């Protein structure tokens, strides 16, 4: 029986090694691929292969990626969860921290690895990651806090047969009849899926302990993962090692990562079912599954499959909440100097399209990337106006402690991702102010870089403005971001200006695409913001 490469790729843990330079040449190319075995389509891969390879680095390595763009449109790479401290221009957010890599051009991303845990790398231009330009990015440390025998990455996503440009156009259509949810026939586990469950079998050896690194790289939706008759121990979320939390299942929103330890049974008498269902949201603690997915944990090819789903005794979907986790490094939450309340709405705007918005302001990429603006407008870089109304800039002073309250007034869950930092998860509660639903963190709140806020609930998070740069804060459901659910934190403009020298390649790529290398969001000087769009605005009555 063919061994899946992702199972065989479980790394034996290496002892402490000297910091090294990990240099990768990535030619970003269109590739025909057939992930569900049901007919292929054009995907975006690397060096004419799909899926792009997982990247493994060690703490203190330098990761260098020479990214060449062989597509017919711009592209970029974002290392999701890496703080890019001092290297804002390598954060990959097109329109914020770069112009994008022009077709036929190159951009070299270089970062000193200061964080460990489970991350991923993906394009941050339009829906290219949904078209396949994404891969796990795993950072190992010499001594992991927990012991395990094998390290397995499971990248989970919903698979679309259509290219993301089509889906974008469909969702942003002015016709309500066209704006239907795109079809997702299958779940992919490490880029394979489809009706043949053997393609996603997870093979366990009796007695071994596995670290499963679950990464949700979906375009939309939430995933819940569980193995029948196995408990799991959560040990990491979004790169932060936590104290052990025993669970039967975990749920992950797009962009989120959770590592669990699973101890295999001692006998290979039976095989079991694992689940990785997609659901849209959790209401009253009940998930609405839209795409159930099951595959097999195999101890022995000869053993019978115990299928608990058939007897209604499946996994206990005991939705644990991230706010209950305790990081092992025990950092107390900072105080608060700045308060940023954000209401989340979806509605039809006066351009007759459906947009999503923070405080009714729907994000639009400025003409000139916000980082260019910060570096070329002198003292005006301290004024929010200069970045453009639609890039929703929020200026944060150096070392200011920011508290963000996200009030989700929508009918869907949204996973919010912060670039350049992680945040402390302080409070969760419901908009109806039901005290039973309010939860506060302990003294050492969990920190993460992506938080889900269910519909009609709120979350309060805090971060410290200790990483000068311009950092996007957005819903990680790709299409929601394209529908405008994003804003930018402009952290410590004085320090950005004092300490940033843009790489030559940054400017060359802008030149190639005809994007000015100076000026405000409109490409003009000073506060001349003529033509800066304010709308569209929500049609009244939502
Ligand atoms: C890229 O370069 C190739 C070969 O030089 C050329 O044929 C192609 O038109 C170029 N593509 C773009 C988008 O400039
Ligand atoms: C990495 O660290 C070295 C040594 O401190 C420094 O010279 C180099 O500029 C850093 N590289 C990046 C990409 O930040
Ligand atoms: C897949 O599973 C079926 C039974 O469901 C089995 O007959 C077949 O041999 C398996 N194929 C592989 C490649 O393991
Ligand atoms: C990933 O997250 C999305 C959105 O938060 C969710 O809908 C989906 O079910 C999650 N899981 C998987 C496996 O895609
Ligand atoms: C497997 O056997 C070992 C040694 O007898 C025991 O400590 C462990 O609890 C057993 N594991 C399970 C999952 O039953
Ligand atoms: C388990 O049983 C359920 C219900 O009968 C069925 O839908 C599902 O396909 C089975 N799972 C596997 C992995 O065979
Ligand atoms: C499982 O639950 C479903 C729905 O409640 C029911 O129709 C079915 O008969 C149950 N099956 C078993 C084996 O109890
Ligand atoms: C957004 O617009 C709606 C409808 O016009 C209004 O009820 C709501 O108060 C607005 N929210 C904010 C934060 O401006
Ligand atoms: C960024 O680097 C500065 C200076 O070393 C440090 O004080 C700060 O904590 C760092 N912030 C993050 C988010 O890495
Ligand atoms: C620029 O960066 C250096 C090195 O991290 C730091 O010591 C210095 O304080 C920074 N300058 C400003 C104005 O923030
Ligand atoms: Cu969203």
Ligand nearest to the CA of 310: 6
Q: What is the distance between the alpha carbons of residues 105 and 44, in angstroms, rounded to a whole number?
A: 16
- CATH for the stretch 17-141: 2.60.40.420
Helices (H), 11-163: none
Say if ligand 6 is within 6 A of residue 297 CB: no
Say if ligand 4 is within 6 A of residue 225 CB: no
Ligand nearest to the CA of 311: 7
CA atoms within 13 A on the CB side of 205: 9
Distance 198 CA to ligand 3 centre (A): 6
Distance 419 CA to ligand 2 centre (A): 20
Taking phi over 0 as left and psi of -120 to 50 as alpha, with beta for the rest, 514 belongs to left
Say if ligand 4 is within 6 A of residue 167 CB: no
- Residue 409 neighbours by CB distance under 10 Å: 15
Retrieve residue 9's tokens: 């790729």
Tokens 């112009």 correspond to 99
Say if ligand 9 is within 6 A of residue 236 CB: no
Q: Supply the pLDDT for residue 353.
A: 92
What is the residue-wise DSSP string for 388-444?
-GGG-EEEE-TT-EEEEEEEE-SSS-EEEEESS--EEEEEEEETT--GGG-EE--SS
Q: Let me know if the fold of 151-320 is the same as that of 338-512.
A: yes
Q: What is the distance between the alpha carbons of residues 396 and 394, in angstroms, rounded to a whole number?
A: 6
Distance 467 CA to ligand 9 centre (A): 5
Chain segment 110-157, per-residue pLDDT in tens = 999 999 999 999 999 999 999 999 999 999 999 999 999 999 999 998
Distance separating the N- and C-terminal Cα atoms of the chain:
56
Say if ligand 5 is within 6 A of residue 175 CB: no
Q: What residues of the chain score a pLDDT lower than 70?
A: 1-17, 184-185, 280-290, 541-542
In 3D space, the residue among 223, 234, 193, 259 whose CA is nearest the CA of residue 415 turns out to be: 223
Ligand 2 atom closest to the CA of 90, numbered from 1: 13
Q: Supply the pLDDT for residue 17.
A: 59
SS (HEC) of 136-183: EEEEECCCCCCCCCEEEEEEEEEECCCCHHHHHHHHCCCCCCCCCCCC
Q: What is the distance between the alpha carbons of residues 266 and 507, in angstroms, rounded to a whole number?
A: 59
| Domain residue limits, the chain | 17-141, 151-320, 338-512
Chain segment 298-350, per-residue pLDDT in tens = 999 999 999 988 887 778 887 778 999 999 999 999 999 999 999 999 989 99
Distance 320 CA to ligand 5 centre (A): 26
User: 287 pairs with which residues across the strands?
Assistant: 282
Distance 246 CA to ligand 5 centre (A): 17
Distances (CA, A) of 54 to 92, 188, 254, 448, 527: 18, 16, 18, 22, 44
**What kind of fold does domain 338-512 have according to CATH?**
Immunoglobulin-like (2.60.40)
**What kind of fold does domain 151-320 have according to CATH?**
Immunoglobulin-like (2.60.40)
Ligand nearest to the CA of 4: 3
Distances (CA, A) of 61 to 17, 18, 112, 179, 449: 10, 8, 6, 45, 22
Nearest CA to ligand 2 atom 3: 112
Say if ligand 4 is within 6 A of residue 220 CB: yes
Q: Supply the pLDDT for residue 187.
A: 82
Q: What is the distance between the alpha carbons of residues 252 and 91, in angstroms, rounded to a whole number?
A: 23
Say if ligand 4 is within 6 A of residue 482 CB: no
Say if ligand 4 is within 6 A of residue 252 CB: yes
Say if ligand 3 is within 6 A of residue 440 CB: no
Say if ligand 1 is within 6 A of residue 267 CB: no
Ligand 2 atom closest to the CA of 87, numbered from 1: 14
Q: Supply the pLDDT for residue 166.
A: 87
In 3D space, the residue among 358, 465, 456, 342 whose CA is nearest the CA of residue 401 turns out to be: 465
Q: Supply the pLDDT for residue 284.
A: 43
Distance 207 CA to ligand 5 centre (A): 7
Q: What is the distance between the alpha carbons of residues 35 and 526, in angstroms, rounded to a whole number?
A: 50
**To test ligand 1's pocket by mutation, which of 72, 100, 104 has the most ligand atoms within 8 angstroms of CB?**
104
In 3D space, the residue among 299, 278, 283 whose CA is nearest the CA of residue 225 turns out to be: 278
Distance 253 CA to ligand 4 centre (A): 5
Q: What is the distance between the alpha carbons of residues 177 and 507, in angstroms, rounded to a whole number?
A: 43
User: Is 131 in contact with 80 (CB distance < 8 Å)?
Assistant: no
């Amino acid at each position: 029986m063919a061994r899946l490469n992702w199972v065989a790729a479980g790394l034996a843990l290496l002892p402490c090694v000297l910091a090294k330079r990990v240099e990768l040449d990535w030619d970003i190319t269109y590739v025909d691929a057939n992930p569900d075995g049901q007919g292929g389509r054009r995907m975006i891969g690397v060096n004419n292969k799909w899926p792009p390879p997982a990247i493994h680095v060690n703490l203190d390595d330098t990761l260098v990626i020479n990214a060449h763009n062989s597509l017919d449109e711009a592209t970029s790479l974002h290392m999701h969860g890496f703080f890019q401290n001092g290297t804002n221009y390598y954060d990959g957010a097109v329109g914020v921290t770069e112009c994008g890599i022009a077709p036929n051009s190159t951009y070299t991303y270089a970062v000193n690895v200061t964080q460990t845990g489970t991350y991923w790398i993906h394009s941050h231009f339009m829906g290219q990651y949904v078209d396949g330009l994404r891969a796990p990015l795993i950072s190992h440390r010499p001594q992991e806090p927990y012991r395990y025998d094998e390290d397995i990455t499971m990248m989970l996503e919903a698979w679309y047969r259509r290219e993301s440009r089509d889906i974008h156009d469909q969702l942003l259509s002015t016709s309500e009849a066209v704006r239907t949810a795109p079809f997702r026939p299958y779940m992919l586990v490490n880029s394979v899926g489809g009706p043949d469950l053997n393609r996603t079998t997870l093979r366990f050896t009796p007695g071994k302990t596995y670290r499963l690194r679950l990464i949700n790289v979906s375009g939309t939706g939430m995933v819940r993962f569980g193995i029948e008759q196995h408990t799991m121990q959560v040990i990491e979320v979004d790169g932060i090692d936590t104290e052990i939390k025993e669970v039967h299942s975990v749920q992950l929103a797009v962009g989120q990562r959770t590592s669990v330890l699973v101890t295999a049974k001692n006998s290979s008498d039976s095989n079991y079912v694992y689940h990785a269902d997609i659901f849209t949201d959790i209401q009253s603690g009940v998930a609405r599954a839209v795409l159930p997915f099951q595959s097999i944990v195999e101890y022995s090819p000869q053993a019978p499959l115990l299928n608990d789903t058939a007897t209604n005794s499946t996994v206990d979907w005991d939705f644990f909440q991230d706010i209950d986790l305790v990081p092992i490094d025990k950092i107390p939450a900072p105080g608060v100097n700045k308060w940023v309340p954000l209401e989340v709405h979806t509605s039809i705007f006066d351009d007759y399209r459906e947009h999503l918005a923070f405080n009714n302001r729907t994000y639009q990429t400025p003409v000139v990337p916000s980082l260019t603006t910060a570096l070329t407008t002198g003292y005006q870089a301290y004024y929010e106006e200069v970045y453009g109304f639609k890039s929703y800039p929020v200026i944060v002073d150096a070392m200011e402690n920011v508290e963000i309250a996200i009030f989700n007034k929508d009918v869907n869950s949204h996973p919010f991702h912060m670039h350049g930092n992680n945040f402390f998860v302080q409070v969760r509660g419901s908009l109806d102010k039901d005290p039973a639903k309010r939860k506060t963190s302990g003294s050492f709140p969990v920190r993460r870089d992506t938080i889900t806020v269910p519909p009609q609930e709120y979350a309060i998070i805090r971060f410290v403005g200790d990483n000068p740069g311009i950092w996007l804060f957005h819903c990680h459901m790709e299409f929601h971001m394209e529908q405008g659910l994003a804003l930018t934190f402009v952290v410590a403009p004085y320090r950005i200006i004092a300490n940033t020298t843009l790489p030559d390649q940054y400017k060359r790529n802008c030149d190639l695409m005809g994007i000015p290398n100076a000026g405000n969001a409109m490409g003009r000087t000073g506060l001349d913001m003529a033509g800066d769009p304010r709308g569209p605005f929500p049609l009244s009555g939502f």
